[in-house]
Amino acid sequence: MRIIFKTNETLCVLRYGDTANAKIAQAKQKIVQTYHFSKAQFDVVQGKTSMQEFFSHDADVCMDCPFAVSNGAKLSACYTHKPVQYSGFLSMLRSISKQTKWDDIPELNADIERDILAMCNRKYIRFGTYGEPSLMPYELASSMVAVAKNWTGYTHQWHRKPEYSTLFMASTHDELGEQRASRDGWRSFVASARGIKGLVQCPASKEMGYKSNCVKCGLCSGTEGKGNKSVVILEH
């Protein structure tokens, strides 16, 4: 099941289905995932393209993320920049383009919101499987988590969009970044080169022996979700 709409001249896709990533969910367990794509990415997949070209058009959906290709990062910097994910993104966008043109994709409306909330009811939501999750309108995201079983989400826009602190984790990369985000009212998910004392180690990580997965854990759910400490994982 898939729902699409446009917001801020970007494409938002919500997909209800399983994932091959065992760190997220068990095999064949269905979850809701959100994706955000730029118009340039939608357009470029209509013809022959490459991973480098596709991800180079990520500015509108990755913004100032340090791992964005549009910000000068290497293609390998982001964990979403892998052949399996890339192939899935291409397949998704090409499937959508067969059904509708960009100009005909609807803006968010009451009917779409109703369908989204029905999709999310008592489900796990993975915000931002690709793209910046704060592109999801805050009021809609709040309504989604209100009906969900649990959720996770991470944003590099924590210094610009404080309201999302209730829903998502600040994406930070060292102890100083975590402290800055904490002063601004955020819990962090810290991808660090080393462990940080006093933080919770991600139970779905390699260093913790994959003791759990995101669906079971649900710690990365902002200040109104589960847990009250920041979470750390070794860089992956």
CB atoms within 10 A of CB 98: 7
Q: Give residue-wise pLDDT tens across range 67-115.
A: 899 999 899 888 899 999 999 999 999 999 999 999 999 999 999 999 9
Strand locations in the chain (E):
2-7, 10-17, 31-38, 124-130, 150-152, 154-155, 169-172, 188-192, 200-201, 231-234
Q: Give residue-wise pLDDT tens across range 158-185.
A: 999 999 999 999 999 888 999 999 999 9
User: Could you tell me the pTM of the whole model?
Assistant: 0.92
Average pLDDT, the chain: 91
Tell me if residue 131 falls in helix, strand or coil. Answer: coil
- 131 falls in which pLDDT band (50, 70, 90)? very high
Sheet-wide strand order for 154-155: 154-155, 169-172, 188-192, 231-234, 200-201
